[in-house]
Amino acid sequence: MDETRRRRGDEEALARHDAIMALRQLNLNPQRPDSAYLRTLDTSSRKTAELLQDLERMDKEELEKTLDDLRGVNVRTSEAVYAICKAVIMSSNVQAAAQICSLLHQRHKEFSPCLKQSFLKVFSPGNADWFKKSKILLLLLVLYYVGVIRDCDIFVNVIKDITSVERLRDRASIPLYVPMLIDFAEHGRFF
């Protein structure tokens, strides 16, 4: 029984890895549509508003619906990035968020730089939401692994923020940020 369960777990892990590698290849060599194709997509404000609400929820149960809507609606890059940054990202939704970001990256050349800049704002001084920072950091790692984010400069900025002198002086925040660094190191070793 344990052997069968272990073998099934290994097969599932291998299937997840293969799916991630396939997604990485799509992101490293995106076949972006031309502007004529984008003009054929739905631009109605109702559909766009629904899609942006779905992006803010990042619900993995609704992933297929969100991806289908995303394929049929021409949403502005800035609106999509804003909705993704506003989303409450949970550990269970990171893979769904990565797939959504991958589709947007494959469609819009400017998506990844815009997303990267918006995520950097989460780590700016004065933003004390450590929970959001930890989930964004996890998402950034996954996006780096699947090829949406291509340079690792963002991680240098994040580590600088987490280990800044101001953070280390604030003894109350140390118990919050040290686990974030440990999480980063643990997840980073798989990438």
What's the predicted TM-score (pTM) here? 0.85
42 phi and psi angles, rounded to 5 deg: -65, 130
Question: Residues 111-141, buried b or exposed e (16+ Cβ, 10 A)?
Answer: bbebbbebbbebbeeeeeebebbbbbbbbbb
pLDDT digits (tens, 9 = 90+) for 99-131: 999 999 999 999 999 999 998 888 776 666 778
Give me the torsion for CA of 51, 149, 86, 46, rounded to 10°. Answer: -20
- Six-digit token pair at 133? 């920072």
In the chain, the domains with their CATH numbers are: 2-188 (1.25.40.180)
**Predicted local confidence at residue 108, as pLDDT:** 94
CA distance 115 to 111: 6
Predicted pLDDT of residue 1: 62
Among 44-58, 87-101, 121-135, 150-164, the least confident range: 121-135
154-184 per-position pLDDT tens digit: 888 888 877 877 777 777 777 777 887 887 7
Per-residue pLDDT for 71 more than 90?
yes
Q: Is the pLDDT of residue 13 over 70?
A: yes
Is the torsion defined by CA of 21, 90, 183, 164 positive or negative?
positive
Question: Residue 121, SS3?
Answer: helix
Q: How far apart are CA 141 and CA 153, in angstroms?
A: 12
The pLDDT of residue 112: 95
- Find which of 12-16, 18-22, 184-188 is predicted with most confidence, using mean pLDDT: 18-22
Highest mean pLDDT among 47-51, 92-96, 128-132: 47-51
Average pLDDT over residues 37-51: 91
- Position 153 pLDDT exceeds 90: no
What is the rounded CA–CA span in Å between residue 129 and residue 127? Answer: 6
Radius of gyration over alpha carbons of the chain, in Å? Answer: 18
Judged on CB neighbours under 10 Å (0-12, 13-18, 19+), 6 is exposed
Report d(CA 184, CA 155) in Å as an integer. 10
